[in-house]
Structure 1
């Protein structure tokens, strides 16, 4: 990628030891320091060759799909998909509002947002992105 000079700065320093140099590059598009710990990074969470082989074998024998199904059934504990969704939103402290038909208790409208998204909206009120989908999986 080509970034204009206003976004990229370089700084070279000669170190006191030997004849070593350090080059510091700060880019306005990617401007945070390297992570100290890789916990949570996709690189650290990648599967080893052995784990990948095991996953392929479990997929071929349907073992993994059966285990996932049993886990999902246990997690729902008799609740409908909508009850499960509303429970997860509440548990994860999402802001949620819904409207339903009184005669059937069918949800007709649902809005939810992560608290961080609302903080960003308050900070940048002129920029709003919404995903309004209908009958999608």
Structure 2
């Protein structure tokens, strides 16, 4: 009888624990980052604290700058266009995951990737950065 009571308690606790992990997803459960300069926990907390209408610089990694936003793929692309147009870049076209922009006769391609169901990353040439990247905490 005592063994059945433990099994019943465990059966009640497991769904609760699963819900807690799902809702408050710890950073180690996220996929690998496409850059190494900032830990996942810093990226996740930065994007979750980020105003939802903003594209944020996450890291500069070699020749590329990595930006992110908390949004669906389509909404994230619109945010990217708005952010760059505010800096004087003209949106030319989108092909697949790449967005093409032009400014002062320079053309760039910024690619996007869905990192998780809620976060989108953008990879851009590092010379177009317009803010300071986040730092490890």
- TM-score per shorter chain, which class? under 0.3
Bigger proportion of residues as strand = 2
Per the normalisation by structure 2, the TM-score is: 0.20
Bigger proportion of residues as helix = 2
Larger C-alpha radius of gyration, 1 or 2? 1
**Greater relative contact order, per chain length (Cα 8 Å cut-off, separation 6+):** 2
